[in-house]
Chain A
């Protein structure tokens, strides 16, 4: 039964390496030979069942991601994933665009690069101009308010905010305009 566990030590004894005879020191570099996951020959592994004395193949498998190791909860892992991407974004330049609102006396400027999605952008717009944007749906645009957020894209066309994926929008948006009243309704009617 202990055959498998001692296998590593046996290999070590026959290993050729530079050093005085009789030294028992292992090589300093992390010995990959020890990292063979035992799942392969454990009873109840997902790939093999039954005979747990089956011998593993000679070459240890490369570092496959093991479930639940290291023991970090997925919530924490996911938060940090976002963070890593976020930090990369920090080195990109800010993207300021002019924002106009129908009826407002002056324009504002916003940095699009700090937002990670439409939701944050719309909340910021609502906050900046003190109004409410309606519910977005693909079919009807923004329902439920007299405002519609639009943007001028690289081709000079005025588009409704929210139709394309965020990254595509962030790259092609040159300026923003909050349309109001009949013009806004006109836009939604066309859709």
Chain B
């Protein structure tokens, strides 16, 4: 990460598109460079280009329109915006992922306020904001809505802290809004009818996603909104949307490509018809949606209505049944039509049988996620190594898998590593902690070893089950492209962590919980931390002293120690030397001053 240079401003002032002979040759060159760099979109390519020389650094900074901040505390808004002056869209990520699982206090940080205040001054032409795991308030949204007159897209993923009042400001003020997407985001009910706040004339809305919202909305207003949004392609309703409401919306918007069906079960009987006749109405509504490729929702499904989606199954590339507790037969009756499916999210209620059915039909499957109905350890699970094996045999193009199960064998994992060599993401969660191969009783080392060895494009790995240091040796030895690694209840000694830190040159994000890695391993990886986005270690064996040493020897590394009792949901009293979480990240800034009481920054 290079520092700013003083020449930056003078070159900017003279950079124009004119190629007249009166301009010195390097400025001409810089102008040409800028014109070329406009076409470079991938941020990694841009980062590389900016390191060539100062002139390229300047030109690249001047032409970067999409700014990606992977950790909101790694750089300050002032510094980022001083370098990049022409940004039109900004991505900001905040909390680390393990914070989603109750391991960090809710007020830990990652606030939008400093960013939006700075953006309001620096980028009045801003068009797009994408936030992940960020806390934002109604005032922040109001500021956003007031400051950016060309604002077009707002996407909030795993965010919280605001309510319907903030949404209403965005709906009302952002007249060119195309995208308003709230995914897995908590929205408080401020008792404001935000749907009615959209402009009365035709809107530019292309995407409206609010399937995570736990509050009811004004359906009549929504129906009118959909009717006056001819460009609407993506609509995801929340679970309060009934079948009839869905039906009415489908009649209004048959051009939809992405649909979240809401409850798909809540019924107010249409004209007192029986279930089968109602189904015919829904069937014809779906049949009219010839562009539908992505289906989700089904949050309270009445299985008797499932046949009504059959007309669209043949075109579906993405199906999300992960809130849909249906049995294998009900699932089979749907999946058997889905030949083009590439993304499938389901609950394990479909059992190995359902996975078998999917493997027989979905030959083009790229991404599979299997979530548990019962997130408990110690129970007989409905999916197992049998389902995994079936998927590996039927879906050879698989690139990404997340699989929760109660039992697994090395054999099935090895089979997957051989059958699906294109895997980029392999996340296996055997829910019983430290559980061995359910047939041989051996550790799961060989299975994960085969994955890193045979899937040479692998960039993301999550391990589970009984694992010795051997598994980590495999990862260090073969996982040369791994960027993200998640570890829980695994390993024997410091050597495990050392193998990974010394062997994986591309490692960016390392999250570890409840594993026996201590200070020696922490120190062994010191040469890596400036090249990583973050290191997370909770309930491991690192000591405060070990953390202090690292913090002392690495001034650009922010080392946070968190004391949080996830079960009580509160800050832990007691010995200030004890902590539950070590969260360390590189940063160009001095340590933040917005940390709560439970966080100590070394």
* A73–B492 CA distance with the chains assembled, in angstroms: 28
Q: Check B377 against A70 for contact (C-beta < 8 Å).
A: yes
How many B residues touch A, CB cutoff 8 Å? 67
One digit per residue, 1 when the CB lies within 8 angstroms of any chain B CB and 0 when it does not, for chain A 69-88 equals 11111111101100110110
Distance between Cα atoms of A71 and B432 in the complex (Å): 12
Q: Are B574 and A34 in contact (CB under 8 A)?
A: no
Q: Given that A80-B373, A86-B300, A114-B267 are contacting pairs, would A69 and B216 also be in contact in the complex, using a CB cutoff of 8 Å?
A: no
B146 is an interface residue with CB less than 8 A from chain A? no
Assess whether A46 is in contact with B565, with CB atoms less than 8 Å apart: yes
Pairwise interchain contact B514-A49, C-beta atoms closer than 8 A: no
Contact A46 B466 (CB under 8 A): no
Query: Is A95 an interface residue, CB under 8 A from the partner?
Result: no
Contacts from A to B (Cβ < 8 Å): 1-2, 4-6, 25-28, 30-31, 34-35, 37-39, 42-46, 49-50, 52, 63, 66-77, 79-80, 83-84, 86-87, 114, 119-120, 123-124, 127-128
Nearest A residue to B303 via CB reads A90
A interface footprint on B119-143 (CB within 8 Å = 1, 0 otherwise): 0000000000000000000000000
Besides the contacts A6-B492, A71-B488, what 14 more A-B pairs have beta carbons closer than 8 Å?
Answer: A1-B493, A1-B541, A34-B436, A43-B544, A43-B578, A49-B577, A63-B378, A71-B100, A71-B101, A71-B429, A72-B404, A76-B323, A83-B300, A84-B373
Query: Considering the chains assembled together, what is the distance between the CA atoms of A43 and B572 in angstroms?
Result: 14
B268 close to A72 (CB less than 8 A): no
Q: Is the interface of B mostly helix, strand, loop or mixed?
A: loop
A42 to B528, CA, bound (A): 25
**Which residues of the partner chain B approach A123 to less than 8 Å between Cβ atoms?**
216
* Chain B, Cβ-Cβ closest to A108: B272
Which residues of chain A come closer than 8 Å to B184, judged between CB atoms?
73, 75
Contacts of A44 in B (CB 8 A): 539, 563, 578-580
Cross-chain contact B435 with A30 (CB below 8 angstroms): yes
List, in ascending order, chain A residues with CB within 8 A of B2's CB: none
11 contacts between A and B (CB under 8 A): A1-B518, A26-B442, A31-B441, A34-B435, A38-B515, A43-B544, A68-B103, A70-B429, A72-B372, A73-B101, A79-B323
Q: Are A35 and B579 in contact (CB under 8 A)?
A: no
Closest to B515 in A: A38
Which chain A residues border B492 with CB–CB below 8 Å? Answer: 2, 5-6
User: 1/0 per position for B560-575, CB-CB distance to A under 8 A?
Assistant: 0001011100001011
Partner pick for A38 among B516, B574, B577, CB 8 A cutoff: B516
Chain A hits for B323, CB < 8 A: 76, 79-80, 83
Residues in B with CB closer than 8 Å to A86 are 300
Knowing A5-B492, A37-B514, A67-B103, the reply to whether A46 touches B436 (Cβ < 8 A) is: no
